[in-house]
Structure 1
Amino acid sequence: MIESAFPILEVDDMPAALAFYRDALGGAVSYRFPLDGDPDYVSLAVGTSSLGIGLTEAPRPPGNVLLWFYVDDVDRVTAALVDAGATVEEEPLDQPWGERTSLITDPFGTRIRLGAAISPAPDEE
């Protein structure tokens, strides 16, 4: 079911977050979206781990941490987690960066994004 997981900090000031986590903490940008202009999302390599930073509108969600799980089937796992008590915030949807995602909240209020690569990716069609 789960292929990998990592935390995403939801921030309303990307330059300040990068100054802290990239510059002061020593993280290295391994991915950014979009490639041009100001990023809405950045993935940092921090040691042997990965940390995502996602731009969100103020006010930030409570706790400002989102968990991301890559799964084998977004629709099936979303439905299974709803059956286990999760609430759907965003139904499964194909994204322009080549992944299918959904957003749920667990029974304790933690926001969880589920994702899987779209096959074939949009630029391969």
Structure 2
Amino acid sequence: MIESGFPIVEVPDMDAAMRFYHDALGTAVVYRYPVEGDPVFVTLQAGASQLGLGLAENATAGEGAGMLLWFYLDDVDQATAALEAAGYLVIEPPDDSPWGERVAMVSDPFGTRVRLATRIDPQPEEE
């Protein structure tokens, strides 16, 4: 039986990945290997969750790769605007969803889709 798990995104360029996931999204580095020099693996704390970044020369991502990352933020509009200003692709601008969240979709530097969301108060009533 599985006890726990966390996603690891394989990336061809760790510096570009860190600029997006650490610098732009504001995660915290909790582990890096090796400790000195250029990392080949990093674990990031993203709120209550963790995300791994692993250097993989031939890593591929993008539409059709079968992976979507989802992060809840305090302010999806501000985060999306900051990512766009930093040059990242906004696939879907922030919009209110029928399930009670404000959501946007951006792309990391390698084409991995990243959904950003903020819960809306009040939640829609169930029918």
What TM-score do you get using the length of structure 2 for normalisation?
0.49
Q: Which has the larger radius of gyration?
A: 2
What TM-score do you get using the length of structure 1 for normalisation?
0.50
The structure richer in strand per residue is 1
